[in-house]
Amino acid sequence: MNVSFEGDLIRPLGLVTLYFGYAEFEVDALLDALIGVGLAVDRPRNASLGQKLAAVRDVLSRQKIAEAGQLIAIVDEGRPLIELRNTLVHSSIVAGGRVRLSDKARSDMTVTPEQLTQLADAIFNWKERASAPRGSCSWCQHFSGWNTMVPSQRFERSWECHLR
């Protein structure tokens, strides 16, 4: 995104919020897809995005295929983005982009509209990479024999289809 906000922090912060909402939607869809292929997913009903990513990581870490490791790497790339977003959202942003952190043990920081826009772009791109393995074919239920496969076979087959 190549937009100048001329010192306005509100609009780029809104983009950060909007794009993190999109990211959470994709993480929910990924969890639903993992459940849909028969993998046991332990997720609290009202889990935070970080907790949902931890649940995805936990399920994937039990899979014995290389593609699970690839998605774990994508999940791990999202962690610092979430931490930065949480820092910004749970702090006070005052005049000049000064961020007064709620954690008094840490020093205040400064944020610019450009940095917020970069964070929004980063989470949007991360969300796109995280959603790619799901594809658009309901996790490959079109394969013959899908219902006779054990969950790990279903998971492996879905990855083979989407990572070709």
Instruction: Write out pLDDT tens, residues 55-84.
Output: 999 988 988 877 788 889 999 999 999 999
In a domain, 4, yes or no: no
Domain that holds residue 138: 10-162
* 102-151 per-position pLDDT tens digit: 778 888 888 888 889 999 999 999 998 888 766 544 444 443 444 555 55
Q: What is the mean pLDDT of the chain?
A: 78
The predicted structure's pLDDT at residue 107: 85
In a domain, 46, yes or no: yes
Locate 149 and state its tokens. Answer: 């496969």
In a domain, 1, yes or no: no
Residue 22 CA to residue 43 CA, distance in Å, equals: 19
* 74 C-beta neighbours (distance < 10 Å), count: 19
Residue 157's closest CA among 72, 77, 52, 38? 38
Number of domains in the chain: 1
The predicted structure's pLDDT at residue 125: 93
In a domain, 67, yes or no: yes
In a domain, 93, yes or no: yes
Residue 117 CA to residue 158 CA, distance in Å, equals: 34
What pTM did the predictor assign? 0.74
